[in-house]
Every structure is written in structure tokens, then in C-alpha cells.
Structure 1
Amino acid sequence: MAVYTQVSAEALSAFLERFDVGELVSAKGIAEGVENSNYLVDTTKSRFILTLYEKRVDQGDLPYFMALLDHCADRGLPVPPAVPDRDGTLIHTLEGRPACLIQFLSGVSVSHPTPAQARAAAEAMGKMHKAVADFPLNRPNSMGVDTWRPLFERCGTSLNDIAPGLYDELGQALDRVTKAWPREGFDSCAIHADLFPDNVLMLGNRVTGLIDFYFASTDLRLYDLAVMHTAWAFDATGTKFDPYVSEALLHGYETSYTLTEQERAILPLLATGACIRFTLSRAWDWLNTPADALVTRKDPMAFWRRARAYESALAALA
């Protein structure tokens, strides 16, 4: 979450008049994240999240995201569907941006997950994958393996401004991973593709919310688990690996899907790819985030360090 687009109290009050949610009491911009503009909105009736979708989110994809959230909510998963206005409309325009009012879910995102919390989150992912087995819509992964090379080229040698030699090192790893990337033999479904700790709300060891589905797409089911592993099993800097959290994630996921020997063997490759994907997207944001945006930029090197760890694991398996 972040704030790129400013919304005045007058504009927000007028926007809320379309809904049966009461009158505006307060609104506060949320700085965490880098994708969309988000506000915590309190009204006389309840609390909501207002999301304005920035350039990385295609307005044409919003019906897919809304349908996926409704599908998951209907199956009892703790996800935050959009709130319809009095006419039943979910997607609006505010300050020139597509916008949705989102149900607020209680809970907090953990910054240092315990094995028990990791297991619960992975269980929730497994349940989500079971729930979407019959989800009828498809959306190509806008940040999938075929997009990494073009993004790498757009970043170009400016990557060396982040770390000396990063352009060559990242390019070589990208070659290795894309050449070995599985194109068949593993099942696909609707995936979250970004289930970091800050996109899981918890109370103690209980998951109360899975949020921010704006990278959701149809892709390899195991890639979703690999993304989660990269985000949960390391500290924020990507330098310290927690084997207990790692194993808890796999055990939690296996309450829904038993991992075969072949699937466990492919996970380091998928995780390396996930690390490359987040290194690149963070690098792009690092190099291009407007100076006046209320947004917390994230260190690209934190995921490049993870990528090196997974490549070492791959070498050990060879």
C-alpha cells in the first residue's frame, strides 16, 4: 500500500455519499507498499480501505480481481471484497483514478513471523488454492517469467547504481532461470503471487485476512508457494534464513497439498525466479518512484541476496 494520489476530504465525502456506509469521520494515507494509493477510512458506521489503482494496475483487470475476491469470500476465506454502492457498482473513479471501497479486516501483519504463524499462513494459502480450483476466469501473470527480461532491459545498466555489477549478475541469473523454467508438468490455478507477511493479517497465530490480490493471476500453483517462501523464510534484509519457518511453511501447505519429491526439487528454482522478479520490480521502483510520493521504497538487494541463497541450494541438488 502507498499514497501517490492525494484525495481531499471534500472529494472523499462526496464519494462516500454513493454508499450506505455513513459519513466521513477521518481518513489517513497508508505509506506501506509501492503499488496503489490507499487510505484508512473511518465513517459513522464502520471502517474501510479506500484503494485508488495506479498505473501498474490495468483498470481492465479489476473485474477479475473483484470476481476472485467474491469467489474466495463465498467459500469462507478471510478476504476483503469490495463494497458495492447503492447501485451495486464496485469500481468507481476518484481523483482521475479507478477506485474501490474495500471491507476492512481486523488483524495485524507480522514483521518477524514465528514458525506457528508461518504454518497458519501457508495453511491459508493451501485452502485458497483448493477454493479456486473451480474459479472460471483466467488472467495472465502481469509479472510472470516472460516479463522479467523486458523489465530487466528497461532497468538497464542503471541497476549498477543500486549495486556495482548488479546488471551483469542479474542478467546471468535471469538467463539460467528462464532457460530451466518449467512450462509443463505442474498444475496451474489462480494464485495470489504476492503473499508476503504484510499481505496476511493475523491475531496471534490465527489468520484473519488475506489482502492485496492485485497481482493475482493464473500461473503455477507451486510458484505461489515459492513466492511465499522467499518472503517469509528470510529476515527483511535477505541475509538470515530461518529453517524452522521454512519447514513450517511447507508443512502448513501440505495440509492441503502433499508435496511430491519432484515438487520439492523444483521449489528452489521457482523461488530463485520469484527473487529475480521482486529484485527487478523493486529496482524499477527504486529508480523511478517520484520524490514527492508518500511511499516506502523497498531495497532491491534484499531479494537479490535471497536469490543467491536459492541458487546455492540448486547447486547442492545438482
Structure 2
Amino acid sequence: MAVYTHVSAEALAAFLARYDHGELVSAKGIAEGVENSNYMVDTTRGRFILTLYEKRVDLADLPFFFAMLDHLAERGNPVPRALTDRTGVAIQQLEGRPACLIEFLPGVSVSHPNTAQAFATGAAMGHMHESLVDFTGERSNSLGPDGWTALLARCGHDLDAIESGLFDHVSAALERVLAAWPYDLPRGVIHADLFPDNVLMLGDRVGGLIDFYFACTDIRAWDLAVMHSAWSFDASGGTVDRAIGAALVEGYVSHFPLSDAERAALPVLARGACIRFLLTRAWDWLNTPADALVTRKDPLAYLRRLNTYDQMGETLFQ
């Protein structure tokens, strides 16, 4: 979440008038995240999230995301659905952007998850994958391995402005990962971005899974590897917690099985996750507008993770 587009109080009040969810009381921009403009909106009838879609989100993909969320909610997953106005329309226009009013879910995103929270989140991902087995929607992964080489080229040697030699380092790592990529593993619809800040905790229980705007059809175990790379390290990427990683995997398999081939592939999938997030963070670091209300994320935190996976590899998944 972030804020790129300013929404005036007058425009927001007129927007809310299309719904039966009360009159505007207050709205506050949310700086976390990097993809869309988001506001916490309080009305006379409750609290909601307003999202204006920017940058990487294609308007044509929104029906896929909303159908996925409805499918998950119907099967008991704690996910936020898009709300429709009085005429049944979910996708609106606000300040020149596609916009939606989204259900608010209770809970807090934890900065330092414990093993119980990691287990619960792994289980929530397993439940999500189980629920999506019969979901018929499909969306290609524009930020999957087939796109990393092009993204690296777009960043180019500007990467060396972040750290000397970074372009060559990432180029060599990407070549190794692509050569070992397990394209034949089971596929399904996945979240693809289940970081701690996309999970709302109520104590040690998951209260909500949010921000599904990278959801796509890809290798299921890739989703678990992305989560492992995000949860098992401190914010700097310099310290790894094996117990957190183990709890994630244990929670996942409590709801959805992992084959021997999927388990064996987790190290290379995790290295791929590091390259993916290093490159997208680097692109945002180099290209985020100076006046955007957005917290840029350090791409080098994923270089440190990548180095750890290279050094410790399989031992982190045993």
C-alpha cells in the first residue's frame, strides 16, 4: 500500500455517496507498500479501505482478483472483498484512477513474527491453496522467471548506483537460478506476495490476508518460497531465523501437502524469490517519484537474503 494520488475530501464524499456505507468521517493515506494508492476511510457506518490502482495493476486484471477473493471468502479464508455500489458496480473512477472500496479486516501486521504466528500463516497459505484448487480463473505471472531477465535489463547498470558491482552480481545469480528452475512442479493460483505486512494477526491467529494484486497462476511451492524469504529474515535481510522458516513449512503442510520434488526445489525457488524482489525493489528505488507518499524498500535486503540462501541452501529447509 502507498499513496501516489491525492484524493480530496470533496471527491471522496461524492464517491461514498454511491454506496450504502455511510458518510465520510475521516480518511488517512497509508504509506506502506509500493503498488497502489490506499486510504483508511472511516464513515458513519464503519471502516473501509479505499484503493486507487496505479503502476503495475492492469484494470483488466481486477475482475480476476475480485473473483478470486470472493471464491476464497466463500470457503472461509479471511480475505477482503471488493464492495459494490447501489448499482452492483465494484470498479469505480476517482481522481482519474480506477478505484474500489474494500472491506476492512481487523488485525495488525507484525514486524517480528514468532513461531506460532509463522505456523498460523503457513497454515493460512495452505488453506488458501486448498481452496483455490477448483478456482477456474487464470492470470499469468508477469513478474515470474520469464520476466526477470527483461527487468534486469531495464534496471541496467543503474543498479551499480545502489551498490558497486550489483548488476554483475545479480546477472550471475539469475543465470544460475534460471538454469535450475523447476518448471514442471504443480501449478495453481497463488498469492505471490505474502509478506508479514500482507498478513493481519490477531495475537497468534491470522485475522486477514490482504493485497492480492500480484496473485497469478504459477508454481504453488513458489508461493511458500516467497513467504519463507520474507518471514525468515530480519528487515535488513542480514539475520535468518530457522525456526520461523520451519514453522511456515510445518503450518503449510498441515493444510496442503508438499511432494518430495516440491520440498527439494524450495532452495532454488527461494533464491528466485530473492532475485524477483531485489529487482522490483531496485526498480522502485530508482524510479519512485520524490513527492510520492510511499516507503521505499531496500533492495539490498534481498541481496543479503540471496547470499544466505547461496551459502546455506538446503539446510534452511531441513
TM-score, normalising length: structure 2: 0.98
Paired residue secondary structure (2:82): coil
Residue type at the aligned position of 1:178: L
**Equivalent residues in 2 for 1:50-89, closer than 5 Å:** 50-89=50-89
Contact conserved, 1:123 with 1:255, CA < 8 A, in 2?
yes
Q: Describe the superposition over 1:283-307 as per-residue Cα deviations: whole angstroms up to 9, x where unpaired.
A: 0000000000000000000011111
Distance in 2 between the 1:155 and 1:241 partners?
A: 28
Q: What is the Cα deviation at residue 241 of structure 1?
A: 0.4
Q: Describe the superposition over 1:44-82 as per-residue Cα deviations: whole angstroms up to 9, x where unpaired.
A: 001000000002101110010010000001111100000
Contact conserved, 2:159 with 2:167, CA < 8 A, in 1?
yes
- Aligned partner of 1:237 in structure 2 is 236
Paired residue secondary structure (1:134): coil
- Aligned partner of 2:283 in structure 1 is 284
Paired residue secondary structure (2:83): coil
Paired residue secondary structure (1:137): coil
Distance in 2 between the 1:211 and 1:110 partners?
A: 14
Residue type at the aligned position of 1:135: F
- Aligned partner of 2:142 in structure 1 is 142
Query: Aligned pair 1:261/2:260, yes or no?
Result: yes
Distance in 2 between the 1:24 and 1:263 partners?
A: 48
RMSD, aligned α-carbons: 1.1
- Aligned partner of 1:95 in structure 2 is 95
Contact conserved, 1:269 with 1:311, CA < 8 A, in 2?
no
Contact conserved, 1:26 with 1:43, CA < 8 A, in 2?
yes
Q: What is the Cα deviation at residue 315 of structure 1?
A: 8.0
Structure 1: state its 5+ residue gaps.
none
Paired residue secondary structure (1:133): coil
Contact conserved, 1:25 with 1:43, CA < 8 A, in 2?
yes
Q: What is the Cα deviation at residue 179 of structure 1?
A: 1.5
Structure 2: state its 5+ residue gaps.
none
- Aligned partner of 1:39 in structure 2 is 39
- Aligned partner of 1:158 in structure 2 is 158
- Aligned partner of 2:198 in structure 1 is 199
Residue type at the aligned position of 1:271: A
Sequence identity (%): 64
CA distance 1:94–1:260, change in 2 (3 Å): same
Distance in 2 between the 1:54 and 1:315 partners?
A: 38
Distance in 1 between the 2:64 and 2:256 partners?
A: 25
Query: Aligned pair 1:122/2:119, yes or no?
Result: no
Distance in 1 between the 2:4 and 2:260 partners?
A: 45
Contact conserved, 1:2 with 1:34, CA < 8 A, in 2?
yes
Contact conserved, 2:127 with 2:256, CA < 8 A, in 1?
no
Contact conserved, 1:2 with 1:29, CA < 8 A, in 2?
yes
- Aligned partner of 1:302 in structure 2 is 301
Query: Aligned pair 1:168/2:168, yes or no?
Result: yes
Contact conserved, 2:267 with 2:314, CA < 8 A, in 1?
no
Q: Describe the superposition over 1:29-53 as per-residue Cα deviations: whole angstroms up to 9, x where unpaired.
A: 0001111000000000010000000
TM-score, normalising length: structure 1: 0.98
- Aligned partner of 1:216 in structure 2 is 215
Contact conserved, 2:72 with 2:128, CA < 8 A, in 1?
yes
CA distance 1:160–1:315, change in 2 (3 Å): farther
Contact conserved, 1:238 with 1:303, CA < 8 A, in 2?
yes
**Equivalent residues in 2 for 1:18-29, closer than 5 Å:** 18-29=18-29
Distance in 1 between the 2:163 and 2:82 partners?
A: 40
Distance in 1 between the 2:192 and 2:314 partners?
A: 25
- Compare 34-43 and 258-267 and name the one that shifted more: 258-267
- Aligned partner of 1:225 in structure 2 is 224
Distance in 2 between the 1:86 and 1:32 partners?
A: 31
CA distance 1:315–1:84, change in 2 (3 Å): closer
Distance in 2 between the 1:125 and 1:38 partners?
A: 24
